[in-house]
Amino acid sequence: MTLFRSKFMFNGYIFSSGVFLILMASLFAIQPVFATPVVSPVTNETTNQFHPGKVIWVDLVTNDVALAASFYSKVFGWDVTVNSAGNFAEVSYQGQPVAAIAKYEKDITDNEARWLVSISVPDVEATAIAVREHGGEVLEGPVDLPNRGRYVLVTDSTGAMLMFLQANGGDPADEKPTPNNWLWAELWTDDPANAASFYKAVVGYKSKTVREADGNTVMVLGRDGVARASLVNIPWEDVEPNWLPYLLVDDIDKALKSVETHGGSVVLYVANDSRNANVAIVADPTGGVFALQQKEINK
């Protein structure tokens, strides 16, 4: 799945190690004077099945939880429950968990929200060791989060931030994606070979490079015979490596209009791309960048 690139993407974020700790504290609303909160599992159904390499969760970290909550509720019909402090929200759609939204606590300017993906792993401790051994950095954890599971926050060998998660009760089942739910995730990196080697060692991904109709190439990452993500080379020097999630929509033109109506922006839109799909990169009003895709438009 080719991702369309933009210099707008994440505005070239650079975080100090201290800000990473603030990010994690705010992400899960952990305050020094309060107990660690109990958050929802990644799926309502206990599956007791695990799919290593699958993106099983996403979190939005933002400076304005209320604004982000309003945007996603109005544009995609998500049900958003904000806590009494206004710094954390759980998101569901048609009764199923979708995401969490959390507030940066200190020294973060406007329009610097980011989406973080969580990839399923069978052993968080072993994964953390492998991250360090293969050129990544462990920023926080491994740590248990009640109900959610055990996680570690890292940057990969090219600097992209993500989490690895061993979910309590198992991973969400592999099912056909439905509109207004997450479809895919893609890694932008300035060193594809390095990144592919890192994720092979840490996650067990096998990779296959595919040349598309427009001449661009995309590396598909998979494990156990199932495609789980993709990887592309960043074409601009001022874009930091990052993971970007795709959201499936029924009608991308309608979705883009709603994005702009409710304060978001369209960064890039390509109709009928090389994969026979409409794809756009958009940003919410707080700066969180993600992709929209309307699949298989001629079928």
Q: What is the pLDDT of residues 178-221, one digit of tens each?
A: 999 999 999 999 999 999 999 999 999 999 998 876 677 899 99
Count of residues making up the chain: 299
54-68, 83-97, 262-276, range with the lowest pLDDT: 262-276
* Cβ atoms 49, 122 nearer than 8 A: no
Longest Cα pair distance anywhere in the chain, in angstroms? 56
Q: What is the mean pLDDT of residues 112-121?
A: 94
Residue 36 has pLDDT above 70, yes or no: no
Of residues 208 and 105, the one with the higher pLDDT is 208
Residue 25 has pLDDT above 70, yes or no: no
Q: Give, in degrees to the nearest 5, the angle at Cα 37 between 33 and 39.
A: 165
Of residues 253 and 4, the one with the higher pLDDT is 253
Give the residue ranges of DSSP H helices in the chain. 17-27, 65-76, 124-133, 192-203, 252-261
pTM comes to: 0.86
Instruction: Tell me the chain's radius of gyration from C-alpha atoms.
Output: 18
Domains of the chain, CATH where assigned: 11-167 (3.10.180.10), 175-294 (3.10.180.10)
Q: What is the pLDDT of residue 5?
A: 32
291 to each of 40, 195, 244, how far by Cα in Å? 25, 21, 7
Question: What's the CA gap between 120 and 208, in Å, rounded?
Answer: 20
